[in-house]
Amino acid sequence: MKSLFPYFLLSLTFAQAAEPRPLLALPGQILHESKLDTAPTAPWRAAKGKWELANGSWQGAELTEDKHGAVIRLPLQLKDFIIEYEFQWQGARSTSLSINAVKDHMARISLTPKSVTIQRDDHDHEGPDKAVVFARFSAELAPGIWHKVRLEMVGDAMTGQVNDLAAWGSADLFTQTKAAPGFTVGGQSVAFRNLVIREAMLNPEWEKRKAELPRPGEKVAPLATKKGSGKGNKKSAP
């Protein structure tokens, strides 16, 4: 009988190649997993906008009367974690993966069809604190295609990755409890699927991986704005 061992090794190689390369974190126990293929319901909380099941995945859209971007959050407290999901443009101007502290914002990956921004958020709104952009990449995130997002937070550091674009940053704020991971949408609309949230531990190879990424602030492309967009843009990133 012909040995199947070489085929097993080949299959194993392909399986390993499909796994994302570890950056800051190594994955642990799954904390929450959903294909997002059923209508949004508890424990998720939709604060703003319209959230529904459409064509087998979640779809989020801003409502004009809200005067605010669409927001849906999972009331989950986290320590060190990895979040992965996929999104698809369906006409919206922006979307983000947002992480809160127990009170107020903490960090996010912000997306437009032309850019990827990885940042520490403004934590006190009207106070002295300001958002810190670790990286902003020019990008071509085409509509009708599923794009992969991965956020890792361990200790005082975070990495954000969208498709092949990745960057990192750190802040004392990140050592606090993380809470209420969620999606935001500015405009009409964005689809979401295949969400997984895992516990994480520090990758022993992190220093080596970090050296391969841009230093915080090293790659900050200008943020394209439309004429007349003005102050209202702040409300698109809740």
pTM for this model (two decimals): 0.86
Q: From residue 104, how far is each of 38, 41, 120, 121, 123 by CA, in Å? A: 29, 23, 12, 9, 6
pLDDT of 33: 98
List pLDDT tens digits, range 88-114: 999 999 999 999 998 899 999 999 999
Which range is least confidently modeled, 12-16, 98-102, 190-194, 208-212? 12-16
Alpha-carbon distance values, 110 to 38, 127, 148, 198, 201 (Å)? 25, 22, 13, 21, 24
Q: Is the pLDDT of residue 68 over 70?
A: yes
Residue 60 token pair: 């989020």
Each domain of the chain, given as residue ranges in start order, spans: 22-222
Question: Does 22-222 carry CATH code 2.60.120.560?
Answer: yes
Number of H helices, E strands in the chain: 2, 16
* Per-residue pLDDT at 109: 98
pLDDT of residue 126: 72
Could you read off the pLDDT of 141-192 as tens digits, one per residue?
Answer: 999 999 999 999 999 999 999 999 999 999 999 999 999 999 999 999 999 9
Q: Is the pLDDT of residue 17 over 70?
A: no
Contact 177, 101 (CB under 8 A): yes
Is 236 a residue whose pLDDT tops 90?
no
CA angle 233, 237, 238 (to 5 degrees): 125
Q: What is residue 215's DSSP assignment?
A: P
Instruction: Specify the higher pLDDT residue, 169 or 126.
Output: 169
> Phi and psi at residue 207, in whole multiples of 5°?
-60, -40
